[in-house]
Chain A
Amino acid sequence: GESVGLHLPTLSVQEGDNSIINCAYSNSASDYFIWYKQESGKGPQFIIDIRSNMDKRQGQRVTVLLNKTVKHLSLQIAATQPGDSAVYFCAENWDTDKLIFGTGTRLQVFP
């Protein structure tokens, strides 16, 4: 069935560098996308979202880019910090009742 997937299961970056986490989605009907951060043993936390009528949205140190042509979503984290270490999930929604998650990418920040 349709699903949201991720290109890289683990991403290691040096503290202070920028991080880019990628996500591919296959459902062309998806119109809403969310990035979540999950720390070990905790529930996912909302980071940033974007609707399909936009191609870029910025938050505090984070930017989400949406390329509908190639069905690609990315999360950019500026000046990555040790506290950014976590698993990051993208999720898509094409039905207001359901949110479908991808596999996740583990971000490791080293000094």
Chain B
Amino acid sequence: SQTIHQWPATLVQPVGSPLSLECTVEGTSNPNLYWYRQAAGRGLQLLFYSVGIGQISSEVPQNLSASRPQDRQFILSSKKLLLSDSGFYLCAWSDGVGKAFFGQGTRLTVV
């Protein structure tokens, strides 16, 4: 069966520090991969999605970037974090027909 792993679960980082969140998927090949952000008590905002290695689509302009160095690995990065980058970050995968499956999320607090 397919599984998705996302880490770390929680992260506290100072303003101006770099960020790297990693997400990996097992049990499937060539998945679509997604990064979402969720502010407290709010909905999910699509940040990036990828349909293949090295293919990244950005949905909103921001201080973040994404990379897909391997088929089942998706990385969310920042060179310098802002206070406004705080939130709950969720990685998800789909088989391309719509239904997405989520990881457990990373709670990022920028201080």
Contact = CB atoms under 8 A, between A and B. Distances in A.
Contacts of A91: 100
Interface in A12-39: 32, 34, 36
B87 interface: no
Contacts of B105: 41-43
Contacts of B34: 99
Interface string B35-71: 0100000111110010100000101000000000000
Contacts of A61: none
Interface residues of B, number: 27
Contact of A97 (B42, B45, B57): B57
Given A41-B107, A43-B104, A97 B46 contact: no
Most chain A CB neighbours (cut-off 10 Å) among B43, B57, B101: B43
Main secondary structure of the interface of A (DSSP, over half): strand
B99 A43 contact: no
Contacts of A93: 98
A98 B45 CA distance: 11
Contacts of B76: none
A102 B43 CA distance: 6
A96 B42 contact: no
Contact of A100 (B46, B102, B107): B46
Nearest to B50: A97
B24 interface: no
Nearest to B34: A99
Nearest to A102: B43
Given A101-B43, A104-B42, A46 B99 contact: yes
Contacts of B100: 34, 46, 91, 99
B102 A45 contact: yes
User: Nearest 4 A-B pairs (CB), nearest first?
Assistant: A43-B102, A101-B44, A103-B43, A32-B98
